[in-house]
Each structure stands twice: as C-alpha cells, then as structure tokens.
Structure 1
C-alpha cells in the first residue's frame, strides 16, 4: 500500500486552486529512496530512473515520424517542411517539461490537476477526458499497422477495402491489453517494451538508411531541418498542422502521457501511488496529491528531480524524436526516387516496403514492413493505454462513490474500460483510411494548445516556490498556444469551408 493523506505525517496543507482538496505537505523523497539504490550513478540512471519519456517517444515515432512526416517529405521535399518539424519538437519538449513539473511537485497527473483551475473539476476534468478520447479513439495507427501485418502474412499489399488488415489491427489492440494485464506495474511494462522496440526500430532504420540513402540526401534532410523556408507550393496548412501536431508527440495534448512520471515515482509521485498490473498486489492510488515545503532540504531535492526530468526529456525524448523523424523521412525520400511514384494517404504505410521490394528484393520488403509494424505498434501501445489511464485517473479522483465501488483499487475500472475501448476502436477502424484518421487526430491535438497552456500557467504559478517556472517558461507556453493554435483554427476553417492559408 502507498501512503494515505493521514499517513503523510503532517497537518500542514497547501491550498492550490479550486474544487479539489488541499495538498498535504511533506518532504520530497530522494531519488535513491524511490529507485532503491545506494547511489544514482550513470548505470543506475539508465537502469532505474530514465524511462517515462520513452513511452512518449514510442507514441511519437509512429505518428508524425512514420506517417505524416514521410508523407509530407515524399510529396513536397524537405525545404519548408523540415523546419516545422524542429520548431514543433522544441516547443513540445518544453511543454512536456512544464506538464511534468506539476506532476513532480504534487503527485497529481494533469487530468486531475486541471480540476483545480476555475471554475473547477466539473468542467475541466470531463472536458479534458472527452478531448483526449475524441482525438485518439479513431485508431489510425492500429489500422496502419494492420496493413503492414497483412503484407507480412500475404507478401503483398492489401487491396482497397480489405477487411483482414482491420482484423489484424484489432489483434494488436488485444496485445496491448495483454501487456498491461501481465504487468506488475503498467508504466514499467510499457517502458521495457519501448526500450526493446525503439532500440530495434532505430537500429534497423539506421542500417537501412546507411545501406540505401546517398550522402547527398542525408545532407538535404539535415539542411531542411535547420533552414527556415516558406512552405512548399501545393501543401495545405492542414497537412502542415498534422505534421506539426504529431511531430514529437501531440502538441497541446502531450499532458495525457506525462502522468507516467507519477507512476515512475518522480518527486511527490512516489507518495501518491501507481496503476498496478493484474499480477501485482493491490496498490492504492490517492485521489488527491501531496506537495513539499519550501525549505533548503527540499529545494535541493527538487533541483535533483528537475535535473532528472530534463535529462529524460532532452536526452531521450527530444534526441529520439529528431532521429526518429530524420531517418524515416530520408528513407521515404529515397523510396520516392527509386519508385518514381507519388506518396498518398492510401499507400504511405507500406510505400517504403513496396519501393524497396522492387529495387532490392523480398528481404528488404519484409525488413521495411517489420520496422513499420513495430513503429506503428509502439504508438498504438502508448495511445491506447493512455486513453484508458486518463479516464481511470479522472474517474477515480473525482468520484467518491466510484472509489467506494472499486474498494481503492483503480484496476477494477482500468481493465474493463480498456476492453470496452477496444471494442469501440474496432468499430471505428472501418470508417476511414488509416492516414486520414491519424491526420484527424493530429489536428485535434492542436486544439489542446488553445486551452491547456493557460491552465498550466495557472497551476504552476501556485506551486511551492522552488518548483515554480521562471518567466521565460510562460513565454514558451504562449508560443505553444500561437504555433499549434493557428493550425487548429486553420483546420476548422478548412473543414467547414476554405482554409485560412494556402501555399
């Protein structure tokens, strides 16, 4: 069992926002205490401390990096597209850090923290859950991976309208359920799965690119990333918005994955609990958070936790996202050169495999398909679980009656809801092309940039003084609002009539 508020050992509390309980105040744990080591050296850092950003990176690589980025580059080239990728990745990494700041300082996941923003939880918590589900429930990554699995099994691309790829997509969702059910701690199982799959993906992509991509194309890709230029003629702002929204992660909705820092035990997350797997004993998750006092001891501990967060985000998430975008895009550009064909929404999930098959034979066809399926599966793994996690955390935190029914065990909601969501996504998969589903999700993610950066400013400004952001952090949040918010407004204008901008 984890601590309850009465067991925190203090009567001091901090009032933070509205409509939620005050936060009990107690000391931050040390990283050594949380991770069970005598000293947190480089070996222990990689073995125990780093990892939550890997779950976010696994989601990232399969959306913008494998589908939308390569599609845009395959159609329009690197110039005018690459710099959008870099700007998006930098802004999103900084936004992720601000979301995780709140989690570390209070132990509350963002969907629970939003309930502290006026007018209160009765507006923001249900709305936040709805936006996440509405954005990601379409299941485009599973559908795209299903196309790859069909090709692996049959040795050919699925015909238009084929049912079997959708069946394979549902099978992959079942695999996600089994991974979560078989874990002792769900977050840790996702980390280990992503360590294995992302390592395989990046090594495989690097080997492919070294083998088939000429140096000139490598340089063109790198130069496109660092050279600001006008968007290429013919690309729509909706396409750019999808690329911006799903480069790195999910723009304004990135917060839906940052709750893994609580389950990892970062900062005050260690005091609040985590969602356990079915193989574990029951672990109580507190319905409200805990925070720390402003004294020299806790100031020093906060700095240590914050450095760990920065290492995880910049060293793994940002670097991985940049490599994960560069390699697939130059690979796609080379595939376009080899095939002389056009990349479309219909063929992008298997375009590289088809081009390599024609040029290098069956072996390269299967290598590209396997990498594609792994990439898209890591994304669906993280997104599917996160939708369930956000809904579980929100319901558990805001409903005393539900907590009574669950008897303090959120797993009793988590796993049945995961099965229900699996059925719903299985139905939705039949209604649109996989990549159009992903593009829809990406632009809906930009909606979050119009809302959540300002809510984050409110919450983080009320944290204990050592944890509060510096003034330039607020500027970054406003830039997220302006950059991603523009693309969402354009998406809506395009959806109902004419886009705001055409190129």
Structure 2
C-alpha cells in the first residue's frame, strides 16, 4: 500500500474542507451528496485505468500521453501546462495560512491580512525541505501522508461522534443516495468545483498516479524513481518497458492488479468518502450552532470558530490544527506533483537535458521546485483562497474532456493480460460526460450565461 495514500492526502483537502462544507453549509446535504458519491466512484475507476498503464509499462501518464497521435510534441507540453495552470494558484497553502494565523493569534485573520500569506509561503518552504531531506521522495510523501491522513480521519471521527447529533449523521449519509435535483440557488459552477475536487482532481488525477512507478508496482520496478537529496542517485528510464504475454507474467499481473484494487478501492475510495462525510457533518453542525452560513472568505476557519464559541478554546484550536493539516497535506502532494510531472516530461523528451543533468533528474527537479515556489508565492496574493481553489477544481474537469480517450487508446495496446475489459471503456466515457459537462458549463458561465441553473 502507499501510492493511494499520497493521492488521499491530496484528496482530503479543498473539496473536503472547503468546497464540500461550503456547499453543504449553504444548501444542505440533499441534492449535493449524490454529486460527491458519483464523482468518487468515477474517479476511482479512472485512477485504476491510469495506474494500469503505469504498472504495465513503467511510464508515468504524462510520458504515455506522448504516444497518442500526433505525438509528444503536442500532448506532453500541453499536459504539463494544463497541470501547472490548474494548480499553480496555491489556494491550499493560502487557506492553511489563515489557519496558522488563527493558531498563532487566537483569532480569525482580518480580511486582506498579509501575515496569512506569509505563513502560506513558509508552508511551501516546508514542503521543499521534506522532499530535500528524503532519501526517496515517494516514500517520504507516503510516510507523511500515513501520519497526516490517519490523524485527520481519527480526529474528525472522534469530534463528529462527540458533537454531531445522530439525526445529522443520517441526513449526511442519506444525502449520498438521494438522487434529486440540486437545491435552488446553487450554481452548476459550484457543483462542478465540488465534483472536480471530490476524491482527487477528476480528469487530472493522472498527475499524481506516477507514484506507482516510484513505488515499484509492476514494470515500475524496472523504470527507476526520483530520489531525494539524501538518497543515492537513481536514474529514470527515458522510455518505459513492458512484458511478454506468457503464463508466468499473466499470474504476476493478476497479483499486481489485485494489490492495485485494494489500494484504490480499500484505501483511496473509502478514505475519500469518509474524508468528505466527516468534515461536511462538522460544517452542518457548525451552521446549526452559529445560526450563520459560511462564505468564501471565512470557510477555512468557520468550523473552528463556531465550535470554539460553543465548546471552548480547546475545540477551537483542535479545529484549526485539523484544517491546517488537511490543507497542508493537499498542498504538499499538489506542489510536489507539479514538479514531478514537469521533471518526468522534460527528462523523457529531451536527450539534451538528460546529458546536461548527467542522468540525475534531481538536478532539474529541485531548481524547478524553487522557481515554482516563487511563482506561487506571488499568485496567492491575487485572490481569496477559496476562489483560487474553485478555479483549480473547474480546471481539473477540463482533463475529463481529453485524458479518458488517451487511456482508451493506450490501454488497448497493452499486453493482453493487462488490457481493460470492454465495460472499463464505458466507465471512462462516463467520466468524460460527467466531469466534461461541468467544465463546459464553467466556461459558459465565465464568458456569459451558465448552461443550467437551479
């Protein structure tokens, strides 16, 4: 187990602590919950198909996209740009910075305060240090997320059991399975942000699933991994390798695939559903206690403030610590993944770069991480943290218009034991329809009128 924990650390973040609670706090569970459930199911199937390619070839998805006609010169640079454009906003660090400010000062930061942004930059520096001090970066992220995700889910469960009444638990669970129209007043753009960042990042989930290579799943064991500055140098193959179809390899593939299914459905899916249910229950209870509804400006600290007013300063600080952990784990995975995707893409497509770094991808990885840190530090000054996250979530849905079809093409060419069954292609098509609709609506809303209103 492990790669799904890195994905889950990202997953339990903006959708679960910001967008999901914001929607539930304003509109309730019914009509919103089923969007969460459908999104989580479709994304888990999609993740399995991405990981299938990585396991069978040892190539990360961004490198694999270069095998789709007309070739890497179009799809690899475009894919890197989409990932960076979607996630460079840094809304998670900015939101976590608000929580750190409240922890330090014991009060919610005033609107437009600069100090929360400085704390956000400090958290980005901490991410750099975590990767720099690692021997093997994927392993360091895995261990960090085992610690953070376990602490987050256990603490959320304990607080929910203590403060949330049973009728609200039932309302939240029932909302997942009540397939009715969304509540009046909510926009399809808000629902699209919720769908995009429930679980992971809808059509852009592939950007983090390259960790199956570094973990050594299947043919990833042959391809290498990115080591930290404390680790020994590890070269990465510029091109993947696959396996011949014989009895031995069929058996080995089935074992790896079973492990993948446990990792994705037993860890990622279950964790994603709990990660959305538990914070939204707290938000619903906070709304009832305070008599107010959250806004984009105060949602990062709304739950802590409401529970603190009712139960005392200790609960206020516990809520803040939880919020910071949730958002930091997300920013940790996203920040590192942007650097990782760019490094993999550059390493695979540029023989000149491979010669320049003498086969050591760290010589590109860390300078690019510092560059990205500086850019994000500027971007987080441009808008409210939650507005930045909503932008990123809807940009994630753009990936659903492109990458399901790439997976259909690539996975159909894998060795026969690794190829998907026909119904897997149907699920990829449903990803295109569900998340793609929300992105098209987002663009229509951005330039004029949304496709649908409730």
What is the TM-score of this pair, normalised by structure 2? 1.00
Alignment match, 1:191: 142
Map 1:171-210 → 2, pairs under 5 A: 171-210=122-161
Q: Give CA-to-partner distance per residue, 1:98-133, whole Å, 9 cap, x none.
A: 000000000000000000000000000000000000
Alignment match, 1:411: 362
Deviation (angstroms), 1:229: 1.0
Structure 1 stretches of 4+ moved >3 Å: none
Alignment match, 2:102: 151
Q: Give CA-to-partner distance per residue, 1:188-224, whole Å, 9 cap, x none.
A: 0000000000111011101110110000000000000
Alignment match, 1:280: 231
Paired residue for 1:374, among 309, 325, 328?
Answer: 325
Structure 1 unaligned spans of 5+: 1-49
Provide the rounded CA distance (Å) in 2 between the counterparts of 1:244 and 1:62.
Answer: 13
Provide the rounded CA distance (Å) in 2 between the counterparts of 1:229 and 1:434.
Answer: 30
How many residues end up aligned between the 2 structures? Answer: 454
Provide the rounded CA distance (Å) in 1 between the counterparts of 2:213 and 2:293.
Answer: 44
Alignment match, 2:46: 95
Q: Give CA-to-partner distance per residue, 1:430-486, whole Å, 9 cap, x none.
A: 000000000000000000000000011000000000000000000000000000000
Provide the rounded CA distance (Å) in 2 between the counterparts of 1:486 and 1:355.
Answer: 35
Please state if 1:310 is matched with 2:226. no
Alignment match, 1:261: 212
Secondary structure of 2:401's partner?
A: coil
Provide the rounded CA distance (Å) in 2 between the counterparts of 1:491 and 1:347.
Answer: 23
Map 1:224-263 → 2, pairs under 5 A: 224-263=175-214
Q: Give CA-to-partner distance per residue, 1:384-416, whole Å, 9 cap, x none.
A: 000000000000000000000010000000001
RMSD, aligned α-carbons: 0.4
Q: Give CA-to-partner distance per residue, 1:273-315, whole Å, 9 cap, x none.
A: 0000000111010100010000010000000000000000001
Provide the rounded CA distance (Å) in 1 between the counterparts of 2:229 and 2:430.
Answer: 42
Deviation (angstroms), 1:487: 0.1
Alignment match, 1:139: 90
Alignment match, 2:57: 106
Provide the rounded CA distance (Å) in 2 between the counterparts of 1:220 and 1:174.
Answer: 41
Provide the rounded CA distance (Å) in 2 between the counterparts of 1:262 and 1:342.
Answer: 44
Q: Give CA-to-partner distance per residue, 1:156-200, whole Å, 9 cap, x none.
A: 000011000000000000010000000010000000000000111
Provide the rounded CA distance (Å) in 2 between the counterparts of 1:356 and 1:310.
Answer: 38
Alignment match, 1:402: 353
Paired residue for 1:162, among 70, 94, 113?
Answer: 113
Provide the rounded CA distance (Å) in 2 between the counterparts of 1:56 and 1:190.
Answer: 10
Paired residue for 1:425, among 372, 376, 389?
Answer: 376
What is the TM-score of this pair, normalised by structure 1? 0.90
Deviation (angstroms), 1:357: 1.4
Provide the rounded CA distance (Å) in 1 between the counterparts of 2:362 and 2:284.
Answer: 45
Provide the rounded CA distance (Å) in 2 between the counterparts of 1:353 and 1:304.
Answer: 44
Provide the rounded CA distance (Å) in 2 between the counterparts of 1:344 and 1:461.
Answer: 46
Provide the rounded CA distance (Å) in 2 between the counterparts of 1:313 and 1:64.
Answer: 19
Structure 2 unaligned spans of 5+: none
Provide the rounded CA distance (Å) in 2 between the counterparts of 1:63 and 1:421.
Answer: 20
Paired residue for 1:218, among 160, 169, 180?
Answer: 169
Please state if 1:478 is matched with 2:429. yes
Provide the rounded CA distance (Å) in 1 between the counterparts of 2:91 and 2:385.
Answer: 5
Please state if 1:70 is matched with 2:10. no
Alignment match, 2:314: 363
Provide the rounded CA distance (Å) in 1 between the counterparts of 2:254 and 2:357.
Answer: 37
Provide the rounded CA distance (Å) in 2 between the counterparts of 1:55 and 1:164.
Answer: 29
Q: Give CA-to-partner distance per residue, 1:1-42, whole Å, 9 cap, x none.
A: xxxxxxxxxxxxxxxxxxxxxxxxxxxxxxxxxxxxxxxxxx
